[in-house]
Amino acid sequence: MIASTGTWDRCRSPKRSPGCGTRLTKELFDKSLRRSPDGNRRRTVVSLQRAFESVLETPHAISRLDAVLWQQLTLAVTDPEHPWSVGTLITTDAGSPTGQPVPDGRMVVLRNVVTARRTLECHTDVRSGKVHQIQDCRHSPTPSDLPSRIAWLFYDPAAKIQLRLQGRAQVINDASADVAWKDTPLASRSSYLSIATPGTEVPSVLPPSTDDRIVSDEASERGRASFRIVRTVIDRSDWLYLRPQGHLRMATVYAGKSPLSRWLVP
């Protein structure tokens, strides 16, 4: 087979499984699904509104909402139709031409979630700007291995639910990256096959060719050299639901064993 130039799609290996940290109860899973209105295609789509409403109707919802939040993130890893399957990863560019650290965000596919460790992962090219930003701006007074601060942003326009996460990021290239690379189908591997560094300015009026990404299975192995996991460990979240009967906002801190959630004035 030959890799197409389709790049950041949600092509998945059939072997892929969601992060092991969350067990989705069948009840909650069913509650988050609804039938698509387009009768012909009969695909099942996730309703975030339904998932969160099912908990909001119960007493002490504040102690249960965070679990739903992580269950939905876990679902988003394996369901390309999930509204949170793609999010914005925000880093800080400490080496910007302005001389000031500037925030920088971009869309990425959510590839793995492990609730027990509060980790979210995406895949990227080691030559990309975000990797340099994560590795450059450690924001630590002393040189250390402390990962840099990052944020994630997810939004579901249908449910009008926003999720902001903050934490730390590390760029991973260990055995878990080998496994993730093996699970990356040929079409997605093309994202890592460009000969020139992604983001390089092109001195031509024509857009650059992407023919270097159309390769066979075997030749796609050269992409492994550029492939990395960005692993983020989340330490706080801010969930906002523009609920028709009144907006709701909840902040959660993940410090000890149990998350600590509080209502905020929306």
* Residues in 135-164 at the binding interface with ligand FMN, rule: CB under 6 A: none
Q: Is 80 in the site for ligand FMN (CB under 6 A)?
A: no
Q: Distance between CA atoms of 220 and 215, rounded to whole angstroms?
A: 6
Candidate list 62, 67, 86, 102; residue touching ligand FMN; CB under 6 A: 86
Nearest approach, Cβ of residue 28 and ligand FMN (Å): 26
Residues 6+ apart with CB under 8 A from 33: 44, 45, 46, 47, 50
Evaluate the CA torsion angle 181, 177, 104, 196 in order and state its sign.
Answer: negative
Residues 6+ apart with CB under 8 A from 67: none
248: β partners: 241
For residue 129, give both structure tokens: 């700007």
* Residues in 195-214 at the binding interface with ligand FMN, rule: CB under 6 A: 199
Q: Is 128 in the site for ligand FMN (CB under 6 A)?
A: yes
Residue found by looking up tokens 């197409």 in the block: 4
Nearest approach, Cβ of residue 229 and ligand FMN (Å): 10
Q: Is 122 in the site for ligand FMN (CB under 6 A)?
A: yes
Q: Helix 65-78 vs helix 48-56: angle between axes, to the nearest 10 degrees?
A: 160
Q: Which stretch binds ligand FMN (CB under 6 A): 29-37, 124-132, 213-221, 248-256?
A: 124-132
Q: Is 123 in the site for ligand FMN (CB under 6 A)?
A: yes
Name the nearest CA neighbour of 112 among 194, 189, 13.
13
* Residues in 27-56 at the binding interface with ligand FMN, rule: CB under 6 A: none
CB neighbourhood size of 16 (10 A): 14
Nearest approach, Cβ of residue 91 and ligand FMN (Å): 7
Q: Which stretch binds ligand FMN (CB under 6 A): 46-54, 68-76, 117-125, 248-256?
A: 117-125
Q: Is 90 in the site for ligand FMN (CB under 6 A)?
A: no
Q: Which residues bind ligand FMN (CB under 6 A)?
A: 8, 86, 104, 106-109, 122-125, 128-130, 199
